[in-house]
Amino acid sequence: MTKEETEHYFDWAATSPCDAEILRKSLEETIEKWGNPSSLHSCGKEAKVLLEEARERCAKNLNVAADKVYFTSGGTESDHIPLLSIINRPQKGHVLFSSIEHPAVREQALELKKCGFSVDSIPSDKNGIIRPEAVVKALKAETLIVCVMAVNNETGAIQPIYEIADAITKACAGKRKPKFHVDCVQAAGKIPLNLSHKGIDSAAISAHKICGPRGIGLLYLKDPIEGFLRGGGQEKSIRSGTENVYGALALSYCLEKYLINDKNEESIKRYEKQQEYTKDFIDGLSKNSACTILPSSRIESEKDFSPWVLQASFKNIPGQVMLRALDNEGFYISTGSACSSRKNSRPVLEAMQISPKESENAVRFSFGPLTSQKAMKELLAKVNEISAKFNK
């Protein structure tokens, strides 16, 4: 993409532009030390050192122990591993996932139903937020795993994962506690994260959402689990397959640069700036009588939403039409999850009880570290201009 195209790219929740400096650095390191990390000779040992340095760097920035970090092929696999691990159990049990989950969790959970597990979804409130009391109410004695994402990829709703973790722990006091898995793909680099919170058992992160390459992800595991898929035993048999050293390095450098935490002052400033930019963008959309922010309560409770993702619906304009109209003008947005772009259903909006027409007309704007205030103002002007043409 050209510099101008990148400036007008507002689909960061689908994927992010790559940090060329980080990718080049990672590639150069692995060109020099290209061995298989599992090989016992010097060439392999050199690559192993790079891999473990990447693991240590990831762990340091996530504030967890390095032996709890496992490299995967991406967010989807990092979501699947904890879910599939329960297949090894001698008895079937109960699986709970939130009604606003990404397809990586939702679809895999439904597949477990075919394997004999009972599966239920946890209802969200009208704001697209999963409340701790709703999770506790859905728990059963045989619940094995609970999945609630940290930030919704369509609405930006921040889920109270720490409160949910505490609620599960309290509700299961003196009894076996189900594992609590958190999809952090839209949270890493977007909001502060604390994976060391005692009630979180596993978490998924993907590099290509934070300016890294595709095909590499990270799984945090509080305690070891038995992997379902077998192979050469890499990543302590949690994720067999020759390790992607280049990807691991790139992911570690991206976490170091883009993760939001107290150690990274620049990331905090970036976050605060984006909060201002998004507030101005929402204020501008709110003046358009043909626009509805989804959920509408976001206008008053912005603290409950990530400033990097916003959903809105426009009267008389199907989402696909708005997308194409903006695309023709050199602005890039989406209608929702890229993984569901060819499907007509909108499970997240349905869970929020958004009307079918508003769902059909909904689009997603998502932003990133390279998004400028100027570009967002240009987007706002263009969106309102298109909206006006359809609502004369």
Query: Active-site positions?
Result: 339
Q: For residues 79 and 109, is the Cβ–Cβ distance under 8 A? A: no
Q: How far apart are CA 17 and CA 8, in angstroms?
A: 12
Q: How far apart are CA 333 and CA 371, in angstroms?
A: 13
Looking at residue 225, its amino acid is: I
DSSP 359-372: HHTEEEEE--TT--
What distance lies between CA 62 and its chain's CA centroid? 15
Q: How far apart are CA 159 and CA 152, in angstroms?
A: 8
CB count in 10 Å sphere of residue 60: 16
Cis peptide before 123 (omega within 30 of 0): no
CA distances from 90 to 87, 117, 145, 178 (A): 8, 12, 15, 16
Looking at residue 342, its amino acid is: R
Q: Closest Cα partner for 195 from 184, 207, 186, 185? A: 184
* Phi-psi category of residue 266: left, alpha or beta, with phi > 0 → left and psi -120 to 50 → alpha: alpha
What 3-state DSSP class applies to 325?
helix
Q: Closest Cα partner for 97 from 115, 78, 114, 118? A: 118
Q: How far apart are CA 45 and CA 35, in angstroms?
A: 8
CA-atom Rg of the chain in angstroms = 21
Task: Give the H/E segment covering residue 95.
Answer: strand 94-98
Q: For residues 246 and 30, is the Cβ–Cβ distance under 8 A? A: yes
